[in-house]
Structure 1
Amino acid sequence: MNKREFLKSLTIGTLAMPFSSLADEHSNAYILHAAQLLAPRLQKGETIGLIAPAGVLDMEESITIAREIFQVLGFRVKEGNHIRSRYGHLAGTDQERIADIHQMFSDREVKAIVCIRGGAGTSRLLDRLDYNMIAKNPKILLGYSDITALIMALYTKTGLVTFHGAVGISTWTNKVAKSFEAQFVDNILPIFANPVDKGDHIVQYKERITTWRPGQAEGILLGGNMTVLTGLCGSPYLPDFKDSILFLEEVDENIERVDRMFCQLRLSGILSVIKGFVFGKCTGCGPSGGYGSLTLEQVFRDYIEPLDIPAYSGAMIGHIADQFILPVGVRVRIDADKGTLEVLQPTLTS
């Protein structure tokens, strides 16, 4: 048995012990994971699986481009059986999308799973996933936006560290591609910071961060898309946020709804127990109509500043090019003055 196989078996064995009495392999009876679960790192030439757990793919070219991206990076690609399916606005029925998730996790040839797009509908699948099988086959999972539901559920139910970042139809710049290789192939612990590029100006205008409360904080990194995450409040698919670093992003929402979601996070008790806060981009967010609107800055002052914890916004997280690929479920340190997020522990087995 090589080192990778030994670490995998050791981690899985530790995870399985508290649930050895479960009679049904598909049981969703447990809520909290037993231990952090890491997937093996990638090697060039291995196979990446493409799945569509959420919205439908309207163009064949989207699949072609996604496949070409990973082939250029030096990997083989296996497509889910149902990524061309359609059921209304969804990429197939719930049963079809679940089948592709289960297929990719159980397929020994597949070493990493990339969601080809977000959209909507992932939350519909959570109560029917085989978490025990997934825990026995830990793999890299990459996605964002609606995939937040799957990221949160897998960490909550199995402890699996997954990754919030570019999907198959994202714009894969050289920077994103290098980040993918550094994290998944070289297994480097990253420090995430916005680019510093003043261009022809004497101060930086683009990609600035705003510090809402200064200082540093450490905790387990948890979060994702704000709409999807708040939609899971009250369900058994959100983890305990105590002493965590919460990160959020949003797209195409008016500020009234953003305010409502922050209120839900406060009323549910999540904001009161976190150690630090990072907000990415609110792409396409604007005021609601009528008699006026709060600004996003006012929302941060109302909900984030009173927490008196290190907090900043403007990080390269969300529906943008060159977005960070964040490991969800590992210990990180943020510096709200500098706008940095440093990963402190391994995200994959070597």
Structure 2
Amino acid sequence: MTYNVLITGSEGFLGNALRSHYLSSGCNVFTIDLKPAPSQHTVHHFQLDITDYSLLHSAIQKISINLLIHCAAETRILQGSSLQDYLSNTIGVRNVCTAISSLHPQAACLFFSSQLVCKLGYIPVSSSDYCPDTIYGSSKVIGEHIVHSLCKSMDYVILRPTTVWGPGCSQHYRSFLGLLSRRLYPLYGKQLIPKSFSYIDNLVYQTSQVALLLSRLELNQNVFYLCDYKPIDINQWAVDLSSSLGVKKPIPMPVPILWLVALFSSVFALLPLTRRPPLMTMRRLRNISTPYKFTELLLDKYVPVLPVPYHKAIHDTAAWYKNL
């Protein structure tokens, strides 16, 4: 029996990695994205906007689905000025839930949300404990409420990925690797800053295992964070990546100086003649310096062993970047 998988947001970092996994597993993969699919991928692709319900319904009506993985989202965290800038995360989620529940009610569903339903550093006491500090985060909170409301009769899980890194990562993290390779990235003092990051291959493995285990009552209709179970230290991470890139380790910078640079850069970014975003801002430095370590709402009980250890992840990421 052919296993049919529908992945929305297939041209993003997560969607692309999940598509590759399910294709290599021999599944029949369908994809939806605003962008066209690369020609080398043998998938059934629908190029459409998920906020257009008519187009979405028409596409989903044409196919048979065993598993939905919903990754499509507006992910620009700070650029939006209102919820209207994040309709994919609200109206789009509603459209996907409505179409799937009416056309394929027996399909298992995995909905990707975000750790930013709570501000960085805030550790929720339950899955319904929200504390966003951006409009993007608020849009993701609304999306989770929509899933819980419209998919009550279905098997589903909401997954909140933390910071995801590894081969194929976003331009933001490619820039970070570029700074490391040119020795332009400073270490944040000498203190330990633990963070629950997620390596992309481990995230794909966790996701695929959740899909297989979804019928278990304690998993079904719940919320989990996707991250490696052992937090990394952000400074040591930068040092290890630098070593694998073949460059000297970054130079520790006194914390007060970093904050002063970030302050001036943030002010400079407000000037009308500024064309390129500054390398360091107050918010970015706050994100770097804020520790977050998740110990609840994890998948370690169900997926106890992850396939890629830390040092292999470091090596593979550096090798990928050097071959760009």
Common fold by TM > 0.5: no
Q: Normalising by the residue count of structure 2, what TM-score does the alignment of the two structures yield?
A: 0.36
Q: Normalising by the residue count of structure 1, what TM-score does the alignment of the two structures yield?
A: 0.34
Higher strand share: 1
Higher helix share: 2
Q: Which has the higher contact order (CA 8 A, sep 6+)?
A: 1
